[in-house]
Amino acid sequence: MASRRTISPALNLLRQGAGGLGAAAAGAGRVLSRPCAAHFHLLSSTRSQNFAPATQAAAAASALTKPAAPMNCRMYSQQADSKIWNFEDIQGLIQGSTRNVVLVDVREPGELKSTGHIPHAINIPVTSAPDSFHITDEEFEDRYGFLRPSKDDEVVFYCKAGVRSRAAAGLAKEAGWKKVGEYPGSWMDWAGNGGKIER
């Protein structure tokens, strides 16, 4: 009997949100996760039809957007013990009214170059470096050029739409951070409400 490898719920959420079902991750053409058997059947059934590769991808994407019967795939949910931040909370944070809080943008560096980021946020990309809260302090500083937030600090994560930030919050909790927050509206909410942008 083959043993099953246990995957962290936070890492599994990251894989599902940022690249599940065989989608390319952040436009880099990398596949982050393998589809489960039901998804494989769906994708392979579109391949069995005589479509060109681009049409195969469009057919698979089209099939995934239609309501379907529940698949026999295990989905993980995050624990809801992160502090939830909203637009006004983040505005107060960047205006200096909240101390010992570190705002962490978990999007990829290319995303930040094209859009900018919330003022005072540091960038720790979770998709390309999900181990950032598990490596040593020295490795972290070598990788990013700044000190990792202390376990005494509250860390608040945001991304583009809230999926990767939830995964990053879970990874930080697994690594021992206790004061973890999420901004579920993330960049889309911030930019949509006219929040200040730093480039």
Residue pLDDT, tens place only, 32-70: 333 333 333 333 333 334 434 444 444 444 444 434 433
Residue pLDDT, tens place only, 154-192: 999 999 999 999 999 999 999 999 999 999 999 999 999
- Which is the catalytic residue, given 124, 159, 167, 169? 159
Residue 105: strand pairing partners: 123, 158
Q: Are residues 103 and 164 in the same domain?
A: yes
Residue pLDDT, tens place only, 133-150: 999 999 999 999 999 999
Give the domain range for residue 26. 9-65
- Residue linked to tokens 């697994």: 174
Task: Give the amino acid at 57.
Answer: A
Q: Are residues 141 and 182 in the same domain?
A: yes
Q: What CATH number should be reported for the domain holding residue 87?
A: 3.40.250.10
Q: Are residues 95 and 171 in the same domain?
A: yes
The residue that leads in pLDDT, 19 or 182, is: 182
- The domain tally of the chain equals 2
Q: Are residues 98 and 167 in the same domain?
A: yes
Helix runs in 53-128, H state only: 53-65, 87-94, 109-115
Domain assignment present for residue 148? The answer is yes
Domain assignment present for residue 125? The answer is yes
pLDDT above 50 (res 87): yes
Instruction: Decide if 159 is catalytic.
Output: yes
Q: Are residues 58 and 90 in the same domain?
A: no
Domain assignment present for residue 4? The answer is no
Domain assignment present for residue 1? The answer is no
Domain assignment present for residue 71? The answer is no
